[in-house]
Amino acid sequence: MSVNVAGEQLRSRYNREAILSASPARLLTMLYDRLLLDLHRAETAQLAEDWSTASENLLHAQAIVAELTSSLRLDVWDGAQGLLGLYNYVSSSLVHANTHRDAIATRTCAELLEPLRLTWHEAADRLAESTASARPTGTIIIA
């Protein structure tokens, strides 16, 4: 087995374990991070006219948006309907960006989603902090 293959297997196992052990909030931030990475890679590939790479990244981005859409709980959160509208717009824009080789559409999707990515990271950090501060600390004294 080559060093490259062994390294890839190790990285894959590490990523799988990170996903399996992540909280729901961290999973969401991981999805957003990968979504934005896919969009940046796709735009770079579109500008270089590397259509195969662009399409691969746009298709993966579409799959992530579909996952985000399917996990949205419309019955729990007032803002869910607005977020659903954004996801639907981004989804159709990504199809357009792919079929028309439109780097501007790809960039627009990234610009729309980046503030959400940052907001979800902030919310996940605050949730982690509040969870950590709620745990009892210190020494337990038994009388």
- Quote the tokens at residue 63: 């799959």
Query: For residues 62 and 94, is the Cβ–Cβ distance under 8 A?
Result: yes
Q: Which domains does the chain have, with CATH numbers?
A: 24-117 (1.20.120.340)
The two most distant CA atoms of the chain are separated, in Å, by 74
Query: For residues 58 and 106, is the Cβ–Cβ distance under 8 A?
Result: yes
Q: What pTM was estimated for this model as a whole?
A: 0.80
pLDDT value, residue 130: 84
Q: What amino acid is encoded at 123 in this protein?
A: A
pLDDT value, residue 80: 95
pLDDT value, residue 5: 77
Give the DSSP per-residue string, 43-107: HHHHHTT-HHHHHHHHHHHHHHHHHHHHT--TTT-TTHHHHHHHHHHHHHHHHHHHHTT-HHHHH
| Mean pLDDT for back-to-back runs of 10 residues, the chain (143 residues) | 70 60 87 98 98 98 97 93 97 98 98 97 91 61 47
